[in-house]
Amino acid sequence: MQMVPKFCFPFDVEREPPSPAVQHFTFALTDLVGNRRFGFCRLRAGARSCLCILSHLPWFEVFYKLLNTVGDLLAQDQVSEAEELLLNLRQQAPPGPQATPRLELVTSPPTPRQRRAPLSEQRNLTELVVAVTDENLVGLFAALLAERRVLLTASKLSTLTSCVHASCALLYPMRWEHVLIPTLPPHLLDYCW
């Protein structure tokens, strides 16, 4: 858990000018057995804080939408509502494979709202197809099948991590079994060599 802040801020925060634009990105922590825990982050450029959810479930769109909801509540100084939402989420068991996740949020005045987030959105694959040429996509796929080291770069963290996870999804029904570092902070640069 000590490493989480280094992944939430994988760059020099001082160099980033403040901006209202928000980026979503992920990182992956792998234990000794090979199990992955994903960090889903919402970061505003130049901000000194980052919203982050850690989960073993690779539900990108679900957690990004949840982070947006929490971010909106915090921006409106509704801290207790954000805390209640996160507490309710933590107390719920994950839905089954065919179930839709549901979370009820009660706001002031009390009006129940159902929050639904589809699991089937494929934003990651769309970003990969848009960001990479056909030739590079075929080369990337071949490198992944050959289990080679692959290093992707992008100017935006959100594009980078979407493309990394989409690259792994290309292998379905197989799975990438090696080191996976969607966001490479400076302290891990030795992995590039």
pLDDT tens by residue, 53-76: 999 988 888 899 999 999 999 989
Digit-coded pLDDT (tens) for 119-151: 345 788 899 999 999 999 999 999 999 999 999
CB burial string 122-144: b at 16+ within 10 A, e below: eebbebbeebbeeeebeebeeeb
Placement of tokens 């992707």 in the chain: 152
Task: Give me the helix-helix angle, 134-145 and 157-169, nearest 10°.
Answer: 60
Q: What is the 3-state secondary structure (H, E, C) of 112-130?
A: EEEEECCCCCCHHHHHHHH
Smallest Cα–Cα separation from 60: which of 128, 12, 2?
128
Return d(Cα 8, Cα 135) in angstroms, integer. Answer: 32
Return d(Cα 100, Cα 1) in angstroms, integer. Answer: 30
Q: What is the pTM of this model?
A: 0.76
Question: By percentage, how much of the chain surpasses pLDDT 90?
Answer: 41
> Domain limits of the chain?
4-192
Return d(Cα 9, Cα 74) in angstroms, integer. Answer: 20
Strand partners, 30: 36
Question: E strand or H helix at 91, and its extent?
Answer: helix 79-91
Regarding the domain with residue range 4-192, which homologous superfamily does it belong to in the CATH classification? Answer: Longin module (3.30.450.200)
**pLDDT in the model for residue 178:** 85
Looking only at Cα atoms, what is the longest distance across the chain? 57
Choose the weakest-confidence range: 23-32, 34-43, 90-99, 179-188. Answer: 90-99
**pLDDT in the model for residue 2:** 79
Question: E strand or H helix at 158, and its extent?
Answer: helix 157-169
Residue type, 20: P
Placement of tokens 């922590």 in the chain: 29
- Secondary structure E strands in the chain: 22-30, 36-44, 51-55, 102-107, 111-116
CB distance 43 to 25 below 8 Å: yes
Nearest 5°: CA angle at 44, between 41 and 48?
90
